[in-house]
Amino acid sequence: MKKISVAMVLLLACWGMVSMRKPVAPPDEFCGIRNYTFSSGEQISYTVFYNLAGVFVNAGAVSFTTTLQQLNGRPVYHVVGDGRTHNSYDWIYKVRDRYETFIDTATMQPLKFIRNVNEGGDKIFETIAFNKATNTAVTNKGSFKVPACVQDVLSAIYYARNIDYARYKKGDKIPFSMFLDGELHNLYVRYQGTEEIKTRYGTFNSIKFSPLLIKGTIFEGGEKMTVWVSNDANRVPVRIESPIIVGSVKVDMMGYKGLRYPMGALKKLRKD
């Protein structure tokens, strides 16, 4: 498993987008899902807290913005995810990451993906053009065959926000396919029901998940990561917690603008 920075936990794992050891084929019923949860103009910001020796410190920030654009004559959602460590923590592990996806508004399938990252001095620039007519992903490393409903790491977050979770019971697995670094990853999250959660922003009614992780350079293996999303029409991730090899990480939603619906899951703002 490739190195994952704590500042990009939200981008790479907030919906459990982490590779499993054994593939699970995604069901065909997820093809052609419609968007009911977000719209152009949405902006969501997060703070990344790192815990070492029982003390959480503000180590970085992640933001997501969504605009409506045209790509090759087709209307698309252009989603940008930016993640960075604060300057005071750059000496430990500097992160300056930018992810972009262009999602077909009619099918919620990605048409183009751009990754431009700098993590601890390791720089990666990757572009992917998804050809839906031939089910191929054309990258700066070559052309690869992919399933019809494949997602990229960022489009998968917005795709998953539109799943009808009322159809699942606690303990059910929800699979996806994702293409990254020239490889197809078959993924899933385990649905853990609903729960009231207190975050640095406030108290929310939420939907809870546990993604299955394999052991890597940052994360421990197993289903130790926990994700909470707002239990309302927006399905916004509001908290992620996970142990890592040294300490643990917590990511909290700390601001939003332009949501498609009022934040009905918010029960109370935090005062301090």
* Confidence band of 47 (pLDDT split at 50, 70, 90): very high
Q: Are 97 and 82 spatial neighbours (Cβ–Cβ below 8 Å)? A: yes
Residue pLDDT, tens place only, 74-96: 999 999 999 888 888 777 778 88
Quote the CA–CA distance of 140 and 206 in Å, as a whole number: 39
**Residue 185: its pLDDT value, please?**
77
Residue 214, pLDDT above cutoff 80: no
Residue 5, pLDDT above cutoff 80: no
Kindly give, in sequence order, each residue whose CB lies less than 8 Å from that of residue 230, ignoring residues fewer than 6 positions away. Answer: 204, 205, 206, 207, 236, 237, 238, 263, 264, 265, 266
* Confidence band of 177 (pLDDT split at 50, 70, 90): confident
**Residue 153: its pLDDT value, please?**
83
Residue pLDDT, tens place only, 115-137: 998 877 888 899 999 999 999 99
User: 3-state DSSP helix/strand/coil percent for the chain, to nearest 5?
Assistant: 10, 50, 40
* Confidence band of 231 (pLDDT split at 50, 70, 90): very high
- The predicted model gives 166-187 an average pLDDT of 84
User: Bigger pLDDT: 222 or 94?
Assistant: 94
**Residue 30: its pLDDT value, please?**
58
User: Bigger pLDDT: 175 or 40?
Assistant: 40
Q: Which of 49-58, 200-209, 224-233 has the highest mean pLDDT?
A: 200-209
User: Bigger pLDDT: 263 or 186?
Assistant: 263
* Confidence band of 167 (pLDDT split at 50, 70, 90): confident
Q: What percent of the chain has pLDDT over 70?
A: 82
**Alpha helix segments (H runs only) across the chain:** 9-13, 90-93, 155-160
* Confidence band of 173 (pLDDT split at 50, 70, 90): confident
Task: Using CB atoms within 10 Å of the CB of residue 67, give its burial: 0 to 12 exposed, 13 to 18 middle, 19+ buried.
Answer: middle
**Alpha helix segments (H runs only) across 124-177:** 155-160
State pTM to two decimals: 0.85
Residue pLDDT, tens place only, 49-63: 888 777 788 888 999
Q: What is the mean pLDDT of the chain?
A: 82
